A and B are shown apart, each in its own frame.
Chain A
Amino acid sequence: MNASFDWGALLGDANVRSVLLGSMLLGAGAGVLGCFTFLRKRALLGDALAHATLPGVCLAFLVTGSKHPFVLLVGATITGWLGVAAVNVITKRSRIKDDAALALTLSVFFGFGIVLLTRIQKTGAAAQAGLDKFLFGQAASLVPADVLLLGGVTVVLLACVVLAFKEFKLLAFDPQFAATIGRPVGALDFLLNTLTVLSVTVGLQAVGVVLMAAMLVTPAAAARYWTDRLPVMLVLAGTIGALAGAIGAVVSMTAPRMPTGPWTVVAATALFAVSLVAAPRRGVVARTLRRWRTRRRVAEENVLKTLYHLGESDGVWDAPRKASDVSGRRRAKTAGVASVLPRLANAGWVERTGEAWRLTRAGLDRARRVVRLHRLWEVYLTERLHLAADHVHDDAEEIEHILTPELEAQLEAALARPRFDPHRQQIPYDAPVPASAAEPTVVP
Chain B
Amino acid sequence: MSPAFWIILTASVAAAACALVGCFLVLRRMAMLGDAISHAVLPGIAIAFLLSNSRAPLPMLLGASALGLLTAMLTELLHRGGRLQQDASIGVTFTWLFAVGVILISLFAGQVDLDQECVLYGEIAYVPWDTWTTSGGRSLGPRALWILGFALVFNATWILLAWKELKICAFDPELAASLGIPVAAFHYLLMGATSITTVTAFESVGAILVVAMIVGPAATAYLLTDRLGHMLAIAVGLGVASATLGYGLARALDCSIAGAMAVVIGVLFALAFLFSPSHGLVPRAWHQRRLADDVRAGRAGPIVGQSPDAA
Contacts and interface: CB of A to CB of B under 8 A. Distances in A.
Contact of B91 (A44, A96, A257, A263): A44
Interface in A8-23: none
Nearest to B30: A99
Q: Name the residue in B92, B214, B216, B269 with the highest tally of chain A Cβ atoms < 10 Å from its Cβ.
A: B92
A265 B100 CA distance: 9
Contact of B208 (A43, A107, A115, A224): A107
Given A47-B35, A135-B120, A258-B106, A213 B91 contact: yes
B181 interface: no
A210 B120 contact: yes
Interface stretch (A87-95, A173-181, A348-356, A409-417): A87-95
Nearest to A283: B82
Contacts of B266: 104, 108-109, 111-112
A43 B273 CA distance: 25
Contacts of A211: 95, 98-99, 102
Contact of B263 (A112, A220, A266, A272): A112
Interface in A256-293: 257-259, 261-263, 265-266, 269, 272, 276, 282, 284, 287
Contacts of A216: 91
Interface stretch (B138-146, B153-161, B229-237, B250-258): B250-258
A261 B39 CA distance: 15
B215 A104 contact: yes
Contact of B88 (A96, A118, A220): A220
A106 interface: yes
Nearest to B28: A99
Given A108-B269, A112-B266, A41 B208 contact: no
A156 interface: no
Interface string A295-328: 0000000000000000000000000000000000
A108 B216 contact: yes
B81 A284 contact: yes
B169 to A, nearest CB: 17
Interface in A102-146: 102-104, 106-119, 122, 132, 135-136
A332 interface: no
A278 B210 CA distance: 37
A214 B29 contact: no
Interface residues of B, number: 60
B201 to A, nearest CB: 12
Nearest to B103: A262
A39 to B, nearest CB: 9
A15 to B, nearest CB: 23
Nearest to A114: B259
A221 interface: yes
A265 B96 contact: yes
A115 B35 contact: no
Q: Name the residue in A94, A132, A261 with the highest tally of chain B Cβ atoms < 10 Å from its Cβ.
A: A94
A276 B259 contact: no
A115 B212 CA distance: 14
A42 B86 CA distance: 10
A288 to B, nearest CB: 9
B113 interface: no
A266 B87 contact: no
A218 interface: yes
Contacts of B121: 114, 118
A135 B83 contact: no
A245 to B, nearest CB: 14
Interface in A223-260: 224, 257-259
A292 to B, nearest CB: 15
Contact of A96 (B223, B259, B261): B223
A217 interface: yes
A103 B35 contact: yes
B212 A108 contact: yes
A382 to B, nearest CB: 35
Contact of B106 (A94, A259, A265): A259
Contacts of B34: 103
B231 to A, nearest CB: 12
A132 B115 CA distance: 13
Contact of A115 (B82, B116, B256, B279): B256
A423 interface: no
A114 B258 contact: yes
Given A115-B256, A213-B91, A259 B116 contact: yes
A115 B255 contact: yes
B256 A43 contact: no
Contacts of A42: 87
Given A43-B91, A214-B92, A269-B96, A111 B255 contact: no
B269 A43 contact: no
Interface in B229-247: none
A258 to B, nearest CB: 6
Contacts of A224: 84
13 contacts: A93-B273, A95-B222, A102-B31, A104-B216, A104-B269, A108-B216, A111-B208, A112-B262, A114-B259, A115-B253, A210-B120, A218-B96, A221-B88
Interface of B: 26, 29-35, 78, 81-85, 87-92, 95-96, 98-100, 102-103, 106, 116-117, 120-121, 208-209, 211-212, 214-216, 218-219, 222-223, 250, 253-256, 258-263, 265-266, 269, 273, 279, 281
Please list the 10 inter-chain residue pairs (A to B) with the smallest Cβ-Cβ separation, ordered nearest first: A111-B262, A108-B266, A114-B259, A214-B95, A107-B212, A217-B91, A262-B99, A265-B99, A115-B259, A118-B256
Interface of A: 38, 41-44, 46-47, 51, 90, 93-97, 99-104, 106-119, 122, 132, 135-136, 210-211, 213-214, 216-218, 220-221, 224, 257-259, 261-263, 265-266, 269, 272, 276, 282, 284, 287
Given A99-B26, A106-B208, A265-B95, 10 more contacts: A103-B32, A107-B35, A108-B216, A114-B255, A115-B263, A136-B116, A210-B102, A261-B99, A262-B98, A269-B92
